[in-house]
Every structure is written in C-alpha cells, then in structure tokens.
Amino acid sequence: MNKLTEQLKSLYRPKAALIAYQGENSVSNEYFLELRPIDASGAMGEAIPVTYNFMNEIAANFSEAHNGIPSGKLPENLLFADTRKGAEKYIWSNPAKKRMMYFIPNLGIENAEYNVPGIVYVAKESTLAVYAYKDKKLSDNTELFAAPFFNTSKESVCLGVAKLKKPTNPTYTELLEYWEKKFWLTEFSHLGSNGNPTKNNLVLITKAAKNEEFKLDELKPLNKKLKDILK
C-alpha cells in the first residue's frame, strides 16, 4: 500500500451501503431502499430502515460538493466550459473596451479608465490566465498575444489580494463576472517573471491608452492560437 492509498484510507472509510431494489416486472419508478452499516473491518451488517436524517446528510454533502457549479443561460462570450468537479475550466472573451484600472502609487499611473485590447480569460479552479487578441471577431485561428498588463507572466495572472467571495450556485454570467472582478479590481503593481509584456515600456503604453486606442502593434505574440486553448 503506497502513501497516497494510506492517506485516502484514513480520510474516507466506508460507513454504510445504500442498496436500491426495483421489482423485475415493475413499470413504475418506485424503489425499495435498504441501508447496511459497514463496520471497521469492512463487513456489512444487517439491513436497517433508511432514515430521513441519513438521506438529508447525504443530500447536504452532495450539494456542498457541487456548490459553485454554474447553471442557466450560456453567455454569448463563453467559448468553452468544463463543469466536472476537479476539472473545472471556463474560457470566455471581452472585446476591446475601456476598463477601470488601479495601480500602486510607485508606478506613477493614475487610477482611471484605460483602453485595453480584446481579452480572452481562462479560469481553472483557483487560477486565472489572460490573453490579448487583435481580431474584430474571434475564430479558431485568432492569434493570441501576451496580455499587456502588470501582474501577468506570459498568460498567468497574480491575482493579488482582491477579497471577493466566490458565488455559490451561480449563473454562468455571475461566475464570469466574479473572475473578471478578481482581475480588474486588483491593484496592478509589478511586472511578471518574463519582464515587460509589451514591446516598449508598459508604463508609457498604459498611460497613452487613457486617451487613445490601445496600440495593438505593442502586443507580443505567444505563437498560440485560440484553438490551442479550447480544450
């Protein structure tokens, strides 16, 4: 028995088996439920009645495990969604627009609205990645670029200390809004490990984008297309 198996065994020990019976010739949806306790050795005991408390406990644990999984209408900008527990991944986009941005004082950049290029977001469990793009309309062959922002390294994002509570039982729109707030409400403070994400000085590029369109020729290519991340 390896270490991982020992850890799992210590955390999850079978306590009961719930067995459902249905008559062989039954045409209805009626079932008979039988509960068999399981002792420390793994042996099943005699069948006992299923109580409401037991079923409520199972239902509560199931609901908690599935908290945070979105539902409802799919937003038009949602490009990909994997809602499987432990493999959650959501990819969506925003067109080029003005965004309110916040900076630490040492950068010398005013907290204000700035023009930003089109952005593709990739949220996985507790991490976020962002890409920039130039195309007016997205396609599988849309080229992706390094996001021209502080707090990013290639595509990975340092989310800082923005304190936002993740919504429970959200709609898809609410979940995407949560992730966008996590990014845009964080103070931009530093360059990522890959240095300047634009061809020229990011401070100057950002300041210029306050009163004019973002200069797309400043974007650095990543040799990656949209279809490469839609999986």
What is the tens place of the pLDDT at every residue in 51-98?
777 777 766 665 555 567 898 999 999 999 998 877 899 999 999 999
The residue extents of the domains of the chain are 12-65, 78-229
Share of the chain above pLDDT 90, in %: 57
Q: Is the pTM of this model over 0.95?
A: no
Check pLDDT > 90 for residue 31: no
Query: pLDDT, tens digit, for every residue of 205-231?
Result: 999 999 999 999 999 999 999 999 998
Residue 10 has pLDDT above 60, yes or no: no
- pLDDT score at 29: 66
Which pairing describes strands 16-21 and 32-37: parallel, antiparallel, or unpaired? antiparallel
Structure-token pair, residue 62: 């199931």
Which pair of tokens denotes residue 77? 């900008």
Which helix H or strand E contains 180, and what residues bound it? Answer: helix 172-184
Q: Tell me what the mean pLDDT of segment 1-17 comes to.
A: 58
How far is it, in rounded angstroms, from Cα 58 to Cα 115?
50
CB 102 within 8 A of CB 187: yes
User: What's the pLDDT tens digit per position in 173-197?
Assistant: 999 999 999 999 999 999 988 889 9
Q: What is the rounded average pLDDT for all residues in the chain?
A: 87
pLDDT of 201 strictly over 90: yes
pLDDT above 70 covers a percentage of the chain that reads 85
